[in-house]
Structure 1
Amino acid sequence: MRLSHRSKYLAIFLLPLLLANCSRVETTPVQQWKHAAQATYAAALSSDGRYAVQSSVQHGITIWDTERQGLMYQWNHRDADENIVFALAISPDNSHVVSADRTNFALWRIADGENVGYWQLDESSVRDVAISHRGRQLLIGKSNGNVLHITFESGRRLLFLGHSERINSVAISPNGRFALTGGNDYMAYLWDTESAQIIHSFPHPSRVTKVALDPQGRFAFTADSQSTAQIWDIQTGQLISQLQFIARQQIFSAVRFSDDGRWLATGAPSRNLALWDVQTGRELQRWRVSPRVGSRPPSAAVHAVAFFGPDQLISESSSGLAEVWQIQLDSP
């Protein structure tokens, strides 16, 4: 086949771009532990990777100590056979876990495994949850577009009405003062949980499917259902970078900022786990988690990711596996 002069130019021009966006994909974890006999509906990791919590049909809600690799507790919602827990979060200080099915949510204490309480929503259904330090404040994204902020000590409930369509993802700052929410209205909002006033608006070209906050108060991450994933400066609301990928559609199911603010780790429903440079949006390294046993074609969704020490990541996926991955970056 002969290429025209124009086609040759395009081929030469595109090749470096393609190579620049391609990373060697690692599929062999440093360590691997089975946390569920079969597939899991949801999972969460603590910010330091110390604790992992999962939800599955076989085991209900289970929480593991990843350092000792021991099962700590096994929990169930009321009427567990009817309610599937699909949303989980661990507080930034490793003190509490929040779990939610479609209409009920519960708070658990990690120190002794005790249940703090069960609650039921009176309207709409739960879409996502987030929790602050010491389990003091809870954020619930709902299917009717509302976001509920609860302060447990005072019983105060604040309803954020900024979104016009279904909520897909929520995040809360460790002190509970700020919330980041994204929905089907193509918008993500950073807002004050004391006044419900919007601080910054982050518009997208399609529905916002994932949001995350840097616990140090520097960055916000927002991503939509098509091809836009962005990192923002929380103080100014200005764009820092946009993740650079060539896929026509890229959906993220897990996100975590590194403590030093240099890196962003992401997981996807396509088994992909990736490390990004926060300032440039450039992909630095990529892995693929193990697929679910018997899945055809081989598949698994990454439910959660965390930095595990200075040079490793830990992931929890729908395969029921926790896996540790080595970060190996080329020297500049």
Structure 2
Amino acid sequence: MNCNLTFLKAKLLFLLLLLTACQPLGQAPEQRWQHAVEGAYAANISNDAKFSVVSSIHHGISLWDLDNNALKYNWSQQQNSADNLVLVADIADNNSHAIIANRHDFSLWNIENGQSEGFWSITESTIRDVAVSNNGDYLLVGQSNGKVVHITIANGRRLEFLGHQEKINAVDMLPNGRIALSGSNDFVAYVWDTVSGQVIYRFNHPSRVTMVALDPKGRYAFTADSKKAANIWDLKTGKLISKLKYFNRQEVFSAVQFSPDGTQLLTGAPSRKVSIWDIATGERLTSWRVLPRDDIRPAGAVVYSVAFRDNNQVITESSSGYAELWQVNKQ
């Protein structure tokens, strides 16, 4: 009996060590800044970690200067009901513009002067995700009816990509607006040309595709589904580079960014978890969890956006309403 008990304790200890091997115990952020009282509904950090746009019921849409933790602008897009809440946002790679959207409306904002450069509404379906190119020249809108619309601001041209059969979950676009990536409930992610609408690559998954991302430098694409497949692809050849390796039955991602040097992938999850992965191997290098709000029980937070500040620091924005700066200690 004692031998069995000792074996059981040893087994439990091994499982505990296995689950926490990549999670530094007690890791706390270097700095923590509150950007939304009573939590945020959406947030997006710029690729260089200099700005973040945050949606909340109390402050509307706030643009923050992360270098100085200074409020730069407050933008107004109706936030007075659940239907009007801004739930998706994107900042251009060169920090020129931001796009924000609720379920039926989206708007383009100039980050240099804080002015609105357009407001649009859709009636045929709801908005699921958005992206904006450098200088606000092109917008990408993924919809619940399976359409992805690419808009050229200069002439109003609208190209509808109709390759998907079901609801769009995530979209992304290269900084020049020429290549788009979209993922859907139809188990497929497509890389496609925004001028011709032609498919460049089709990435099949075993379940609905919930997250996609493009490396701004055009080297990689990331696609992940709702079960156990999270893949990094070579954007030049369409070949699989690696699959993210994790012990859990599944991992769901709510934020993704490639490192500037092209060696690592940064992810955030609805479980507060932030991870850094090796692109070449798919191995997890380290992970930690963002802090929840003190008044939330059970403790929880969705990681909305992640970004590398440099090789040793990462910034996160989460539903807690806080931005957090982390010192990265890769194992």
Q: When the two structures are superposed, what TM-score results if normalisation uses the length of structure 1?
A: 0.93
Q: Residue 58 of structure 1 corresponds to which residue in structure 2?
A: 58
CA distance in 2 between counterparts of 1:276 and 1:284 reads 5
1:69 lines up with 2:61 in the alignment? no
Deviations 1:197-240 (A, max 9, x none): 11111111110000000011110000011111110011111110
| Aligned 1:34-113 pairs, distance under 5 A | 34-78=34-78, 80-81=80-81, 83-113=84-114
Q: Answer yes or no: is the 8 Å Cα contact 2:79–2:86 preserved in 1.
A: no
Structure-2 residue corresponding to 1:212? 213
Please say if 1:119 is aligned against 2:112. no
Amino acid corresponding to residue 123 of structure 2 in structure 1: D
Aligned-residue CA RMSD (Å): 2.1
Q: Are the structure 2 counterparts of residues 261 and 141 from structure 1 closer, same or farther at C-alpha, using a change threshold of 3 Å?
A: same
Task: Give the Cα separation in 2 of the matches to 1:174 and 1:117.
Answer: 19
Give 1:250-289 correspondences, 5 Å limit.
Answer: 250-289=251-290
Query: Aligned-pair distance for 1:309?
Result: 2.1
Change (3 A) 1:154 1:288: same
Cα distance in 2 for partners of 1:272, 1:133 equals 30
Change (3 A) 1:26 1:180: farther
Aligned counterparts of 2:77 and 2:30: Cα–Cα separation in 1: 34
Instruction: Tell me what 2:249 maps to.
Output: 248
Residue 143 of structure 1 pairs with residue 144 of structure 2 = yes
Q: Name structure 2 gaps, 5 residues minimum.
A: none
* Distance in structure 2 (CA, Å) of the matches to 1:138 and 1:24: 39
Residue pair 2:93, 2:134 contacting (<8 A) in 1 also: yes
Q: Paired residues, what number?
A: 324
Shift in Å, 1:3: 9.4
The equivalent of 1:189 in structure 2 is 190
Query: Hey, what's the Cα distance between the residues in 2 that align with 1:202 and 1:321?
Result: 35
Q: Is the 8 A contact 2:201 2:238 kept in 1?
A: yes
Displacement after TM superposition at 1:295 (Å) = 1.7
**CA 1:80–1:153 in 2, change beyond 3 Å: closer, same or farther?**
farther
Instruction: List aligned pairs for 1:250-329, cutoff 5 A.
Output: 250-329=251-330
What amino acid maps onto 1:61 in structure 2? Answer: I
Contact 2:73 2:114 in 1 (8 A): yes
Are the aligned partners of 1:293 and 1:319 in contact in 2 as well (CA < 8 Å)? no
What SS does structure 1 have at the residue aligned with 2:190? strand
| Percent of aligned positions that are identical | 51
| In 2, Cα distance between equivalents of 1:50 and 1:38 | 24
Could you say what secondary structure the match of 1:134 adopts? Answer: helix
Structure 2 residue identity aligned to 1:112? N
SS at match of 1:316: strand
- Whole-angstrom CA distance in 2 between matches of 1:194 and 1:3: 69
TM superposition shift of 1:131 = 0.7
CA distance in 1, matches of 2:180, 2:25: 34
**Whole-Å separation in 1 of the counterparts to 2:191 and 2:35:** 34
Q: Secondary structure at the match of 2:118?
A: strand
Give me the whole-angstrom Cα distance separating, in 2, the residues matched to 1:253 and 1:235. 25
Question: C-alpha offsets along residues 111-160 of structure 1, whole Å, 9 cap, x if unaligned?
Answer: 11101111101311100001110111011000000100001011110000
TM-score (norm 2): 0.93
* d(CA) in 2 for partners of 1:232, 1:303: 23
Larger deviation: 291-300 or 43-52?
291-300
Does the CA-based 8 Å contact 2:60-2:78 persist in structure 1?
Answer: no
Contact 2:265–2:276 under 8 Å retained in 1: yes
Structure 1 stretches lacking a partner, 5+ long: none
